[in-house]
Structure 1
Amino acid sequence: MNKTPARHLGANLSRRDLIAAAGLGGLALATGARSAFAAGADNVLKVGFISPRTGALAGFGQTDGYVLEVVRKALAKGFAVAGKTFEIQILDQDTQSDPSRASQLAKTLINSDQVDLMLAVSTPETINPVADACEAAGVPCLSTVMPWEAWYFGRGAKPGQPSPFKWTYHFGFGVDEFYKTYVSQWSLIETNKKVGVLYPNDADGNAIRAHLAPLLASQGFSIVDPGPYEDGTTDYSAQIALFKKEKCQIFNSFPIPPDFAAFWRQAAQQGYARQVKIAQIAKTGLFPDGVEALGNLGFNLASAAYWHKAFPYKSPLTGISGTELADGYEAASGKQWTQQLGASLSLFDAGFEALKASADPRDKAAVAKAIATLKTTTMIGKVDFTAGPVANVSPGPIIGTQWVKAPAGSKFKLDYVVTEHATDPNVPVGAKLAPYNG
């Protein structure tokens, strides 16, 4: 049998021809994949996204991978601004819960990657160093999920003076929202109105001590404050002894998650937890895995939600509802939904609404101006930077919630129920607040 030098595949196409054609075809496919976008480098928009996905604050970033998938899918065919379609590159980075790393990541995204917009989410340890880097470099930055006072005053702004910030903006809850929620929530159960507070010596704790505690005192609550403690403290015996002595039936704290777990186990061992009628926690106890880790001590902890799947708003970027977002995450991950899902998605909602409103998203000054005048509705509800309370800030809701035993037949141990809605009456109340010790 004779062998030909090149075996023909098809009418007139040799193996070498096919390989060459395949290379051209690959190039054509690659070109076709980009055909929805205008030619040239100016058709690419780079968006930085920085969050804590590992380390002590990992609970805040646990769902960000899923949110990024949802966002990238929505943007796969490009993003239209003023008649031009842009290819979107989202450059996401994990701070590992380290403020120094957050700052360095921001500088790399600014200087090496040359992002057009920076998005930062969850806690001062992440947001403030990122915002400071952006302010110094003249890059528009939008953030959410920390008390706005810790963002604004914690970065050097002074009460009664003009905002020192031109490039950085923050939306979401503040002291006033916590105040309204706590007064509303704490009125649901009869107590002696004595509040034992455990506020750390960090940006959150110091802002809450300075601004929230006096407001609560003005409503007749007696604040028992043993003073600031350092993050990472392991022995809380002195604080617990004071709370027991003062018979504090309400407990309130803003710690990082490991610190609360250590405190609450010691409070149970030393008899204080049995005196508590309302255990109102913030910054920790936000996510189901952290509460589950406490075992029976986690049931009936009162919390507050900056987003809940019951929020009646849709994402303008993706078009999905809160229930769809939560159900999609549970189906994809096998894990219970968390309030961070809607918050992280709302950051993309607001960011891309600002890019659209800028008319020229490659112009950083135009993007910053668009954020400053942004009025829109995101997954968490209204975002309005024209309404104060200070420049560069748009306040947002925080609603009263509670962790309770899940109903029979649930595949999860806990249910997260809405117990009050003073800061956003559009969110339906789903359950009555139960005392911590029923």
Structure 2
Amino acid sequence: MPSTSLCVGVVAPLTGRLAPLGSPLSYVLRRLAPRLAHVRNGGRRHTVTVAVRDSRSDPEAARRAVRELAAAGAHLVLTMAGTRVLPAVTDACEEAGVPCVSTTFPWQAYLHARAAEPGHRFHWTYHFAWGLDDIAAVFADLWERVGGRGTVGCLWNDDLQGALLRHQHHGFAPVTSARGHTLVDLGAYREPAPGFAAQVARLREHGADLVTSAATATDLALFHREARAAGVRPRLITCSRWLTYPHTHTTPAPGVHGELGDARVATLVYWSPDHPYRSGLDGTSCAELARAYERDTGAPWLQPLGLAHALLETAHHALTAADDPTDRACVARTLAGTTLDTVAGTLDWTRGPAPNIALLPLVGGQWQPTARGPRLAVVGNRAHPGVPLTGELTPAC
């Protein structure tokens, strides 16, 4: 008789530079612990153990964590991580034959970082997120609202992230060029950057007053400071990556917070308290989840909070819907056919832009200064009109 005990493994960045992702995931694990303690499947009650391992924000530590979980009998692994750590987790799960659900960065990056083409089908690993093309479309909407169609300076690093944004097929150019924008690469740089004199000079040379980036908060603040000192004042900076978080969660340097608040950086928004979703597991709305997080932690809500909740919702669904939840292959097949309403939106792995991918829509946001610190306002919702606008897009001062 198959075991009635199930194990969900979680590889989370509890320490290290990606720790801001670990905080909302740890919170959701505590919040949903009573609902995950047991699941019913086919009239049978299964006890569920949740085993958490710290990736330490390091790819090799993440691989070791997966191997430990696989050896301990995990039936499913969940993860949220960065550009190098997440592929380490998913590849290790693929090698170990353990189903995995992941989230937090563009699906093209998910495939490219694993040396896979868009048509490749993984056997064990599933991802939900948005695309680089979706980010480009949201940012192009914002550029057009403050300056029409023109030249945009691209502040991209020399690492995998920069290479993907520059990619002739998967990057920003196919979307933005079709809309009449000219992208000017300001020059690759290594993180952390010692300075941006060359990039500022190139921005001035091309007369671009729009900038797009995927820089860290510290590097973007340094670029903004040096540009202003040189008399170059971009009307709008759009930035993905860490600027989807409150500035206080991305760097301990208070000067960076003020500089980025003054810059009125625009960014992508994949989840907020104003999104019109409810959890299919516990009925929690986006607003209720954000309020509970702020009440229980004393910290502001974070966009990854909704994704973390959706990860746990997906795990619960997979274990309750699989023909045999003790069989990893059955769990993986269930994920492949899943369409699920979550607090992060509807996840549909049957209609993704590529196999193993469920797509989430994006809206545009902007960090705007308030008396209580920078506030993330939704300022553009063309791709998802169901998300209400909570502010007006404002060019930098």
TM-score normalised to the size of structure 2?
A: 0.91
Which of residues 68, 81, 84 in structure 1 aligns to 2:41?
Answer: 81
- Aligned partner of 2:154 in structure 1 is 197
SS at match of 1:45: strand
Give the total of aligned pairs: 388
1:12-51 paired onto structure 2 within 5 Å: 42-51=3-12
Identity of aligned residues (%): 31
Indicate which of 257, 260, 265 corresponds to 1:295: 257
Which consecutive segments of 4 or more residues in structure 1 shift more than 6 A?
A: none
> What CA deviation, in whole Å up to 9, does each residue of 1:99-123 have, x standing for no partner?
2221221222112x22110111132
Q: Distance in 1 between the 2:299 and 2:187 partners?
A: 37
Whether the 8 Å contact between 2:25 and 2:305 is mirrored in structure 1 is: yes
- Tell me, in whole angstroms, the C-alpha distance in 2 between the residues paired with 1:117 and 1:52: 18
Preserved contact between residue 56 and residue 256 of structure 1 (Cα < 8 Å): no
For the 8 Å contact 1:402–1:433, the answer to whether it is kept is yes
Per-residue CA deviation, residues 335-386 of structure 1 (Å, 9 max, x unaligned), is 1111111111111122222222213111111111111111111111111111
> Structure 1: which 5+ residue stretches go unaligned?
1-39
Deviation track 1:39-81 (CA, whole Å, cap 9, x = no partner) reads x9922211111222332222222322211111213324x1112
Match among 317, 322, 339 for residue 358 of structure 1: 322
Name the SS of the counterpart of 1:187 in structure 2.
helix
**Counterpart of 2:14?**
53
Provide the rounded CA distance (Å) in 1 between the counterparts of 2:35 and 2:23.
Answer: 20
Q: Does 1:118 align with 2:77?
A: yes
Letter in 2 for 1:419: V
- Which residue of 2 is the match for residue 282 of structure 1? 240
Q: Highest Rg: 1 or 2? A: 1
Q: Does 1:138 align with 2:97?
A: yes
Conserved 8 A contact 2:143-2:149: no
Residue 156 of structure 1 aligns with an amino acid whose one-letter code is A
State whether residues 257 and 283 of structure 1, in contact with CA within 8 Å, keep that contact through their aligned partners in structure 2: no
Contact 1:47 1:117 in 2 (8 A): yes
- Alpha carbons 2:280, 2:340 under 8 Å: kept: no
Q: Which amino acid aligns with 2:214?
A: F
Q: Distance in 1 between matches of 2:194 and 2:56?
A: 21
For residues 12 and 217 of structure 2, the distance between their equivalents in structure 1, rounded to whole angstroms, comes to: 16
State the Cα RMSD in Å: 2.1
SS in 2 for 1:62: helix
- Alpha-carbon shift at residue 229 of structure 1 (Å): 2.8
Q: Tell me the CA shift for residue 145 of structure 1.
A: 0.8
Structure 1 residue 136, shift from structure 2 partner: 0.8
Contact kept, 8 Å, 2:266 with 2:365, in 1: the verdict is: yes
* Partner Cα separation in structure 2 for residue 54 and residue 322 of structure 1: 26
Work out whether residues 314 and 379 of structure 1, in 8 Å CA contact, stay in contact via their aligned partners in 2: yes
Report the AA paired with residue 338 of structure 2. L
Match of 1:25 in 2: none
Work out which of the residue numbers 229, 241, 253 in structure 1 matches 2:213: 253
How far has the Cα of 1:192 moved from its partner?
6.1
Query: In the alignment, does 2:356 pair up with 1:387?
Result: no
Structure 2 residue aligned with 1:154, among 95, 109, 113? 113
Provide the residue aligned with 2:165 in structure 1: 208
List runs of 5+ in structure 2 lacking aligned partners: none
Report the CA distance shift for 1:219/1:246 in structure 2 as closer, same or farther (over 3 A). Answer: same
- Letter of the structure 2 residue corresponding to residue 172 of structure 1: A
Closer/same/farther in 2, CA of residues 81 and 415 from structure 1, 3 Å limit = same
Aligned residue for 2:346, secondary structure, equals strand
User: Is 1:192–1:249's contact at 8 Å kept on the other side of the alignment?
Assistant: no
TM-score by length of 1: 0.83
Name the residue aligned to 1:30.
Answer: none
Paired residues for 1:316-327 under 5 Å? 316-327=280-291
Partner of 1:32: none
